[in-house]
Structure 1
């Protein structure tokens, strides 16, 4: 498990601990986690199929939603199978290379999701503030370009993470008090100077989730200004209703994400099991909730779901 080098002992294998202090309850905790994962799979696959089969849903908002659904599926699948193995069989062993790959995929996909939330906010801004130019601004080539840019940003900005961590000496302990490999959890195990790496992690977090969130707020301020200029209350409510699903997605995703990010760096007085619970909620709950939000609030999607579940008898 350890090999000698000039700096001392260097870990080549890590052990995921799960939720510290609640090891005896891991099996019972795995049940709601597994159900959430199953619902996320069913909901996002259903969303992808409905949008693909319904020509009227080939709009920018729903195309971006398809990409978010795909990212949600990938993030959940990267995390949950290993989590269930840990909780059911008490097998948390993972190699350094596997841990770094795990960390990179989860963080890069999360950064991509944040970028697509920003793209969806831009779609709402154009649709409400410049409705006559919506179809000419957000064309299919533009949507593909935005998708590629968000994908490349997630890859390029997060790809240094595993290389920076690969060369650190992990000579203190090889136990990660978490359910999955997380950037700061690995940094805290290193017995070398990590200020530069921590600073880089903060910069990347700001340039992805932080900057995206600020731009989303700016766009919604402009949206609200345009909405309150509408002549009637009904028109204002109807226009705001088109943003409701997206706002719910943002609140459900960014709130636990920021809490997890801040507590990992500054919340030294917060109990570890609370932080790890929130980190798991940040990964698992939005993929389950997002299809429900759009299924309930989007009439065309809701109608397709009801038609599938309760087909009319001829």
Structure 2
């Protein structure tokens, strides 16, 4: 064990799947391009269309921005490792990537919570919706979410710098990692499901892969493969889920 900080780490990619790594990277690249195009298009449409400048869509913009940041923080390096065998990363770079990934995860959770509150206000206080969720409140929610995510993750990065490290710094990885339906009528229940359905879908997309990865005992190459999908699947599916909702309202 060496007490000084290492200079670099070397990533070997997905163990046991070295021969297939070139081909595995192709769908990863395709999903990344879909995530970039989908989230960018969603942000552009909301920014250009005045009818979509409602709190729900401002939160959606924040969600798309975090999805872009999450995928762009990890996927280019993943592709470089799988295609070019460029597995070297500095210790500082690894800590920076780890900080970005985990703080973006925390920020996305905060945004999903804010979007749930937005749906609650829309259902329970529709006449006061724009008064309760004005631009100042939305800005404050965004600032608190960013501060919370940074505050949660920063101690981990500090503590990692205090750990002893082995002499050979090799990583077998590709990146450093209520609604109650007591409503008066069936029509009201359908309206609630219509209002909240997209948000529930995004929450499931965000948390189910993580829970499956964290709580199940899987072979290491399967776990790493799922970890790569976890940073790609939500950014790919979120614009599709909310894009359908946006198109329905816009048309």
Q: Could you list the per-position Cα deviations for residues 194-246 of structure 1 after superposition, in whole angstroms to 9, with x for gaps in the alignment? A: xxxxxxxxxxxxxxxxxxxxxxxx3x23xx33xxx233x33321331111111
* Corresponding position of 1:239: 192
Deviation, 1:90, is: 1.1
Task: Name structure 2 gaps, 5 residues minimum.
Answer: none
Aligned counterparts, 1:7-46, within 5 A:
7=3, 11-46=6-41
Task: Name structure 1 gaps, 5 residues minimum.
Answer: 183-217, 304-314
Contact (CA 8 Å) 2:55, 2:130: kept in 1 or not? no
Rounded to whole Å, the distance in 1 between the matches of 2:108 and 2:126 is 25
Aligned residues: 251
Rounded to whole Å, the distance in 1 between the matches of 2:226 and 2:106 is 18
Higher relative contact order (CA 8 A, sep 6+): 2
Cα distance change on mapping 1:84 and 1:179 into 2, 3 Å: same
* Corresponding position of 2:64: 69
* Corresponding position of 1:294: 242
Deviation, 1:106, is: 0.7
2:113 maps to which of 109, 118, 123: 118
Aligned counterparts, 1:204-243, within 5 A:
218=178, 220-221=179-180, 224-225=181-182, 229-231=183-185, 233-243=186-196
Rounded to whole Å, the distance in 2 between the matches of 1:136 and 1:261 is 40
SS at match of 2:163: coil
Rounded to whole Å, the distance in 2 between the matches of 1:252 and 1:40 is 14
SS at match of 1:15: strand
Deviation, 1:161, is: 1.7
Deviation, 1:296, is: 1.7
Contact (CA 8 Å) 2:55, 2:133: kept in 1 or not? yes
Rounded to whole Å, the distance in 1 between the matches of 2:205 and 2:246 is 18
Rounded to whole Å, the distance in 2 between the matches of 1:92 and 1:108 is 23
SS at match of 2:9: strand
Contact (CA 8 Å) 1:296, 1:302: kept in 2 or not? no
Rounded to whole Å, the distance in 1 between the matches of 2:136 and 2:5 is 49
Contact (CA 8 Å) 1:50, 1:301: kept in 2 or not? no
* Corresponding position of 2:175: 180
Aligned counterparts, 1:300-311, within 5 A:
300=248, 303=251
Aligned counterparts, 1:162-177, within 5 A:
162-171=157-166, 173-177=168-172
Rounded to whole Å, the distance in 2 between the matches of 1:142 and 1:180 is 35
* Corresponding position of 1:150: 145
**Mean Cα displacement is larger for which, 274-283 or 81-90?**
274-283
* Corresponding position of 1:188: none
* Corresponding position of 1:311: none
2:202 maps to which of 219, 239, 249: 249
TM-score under structure 1 length normalisation: 0.76
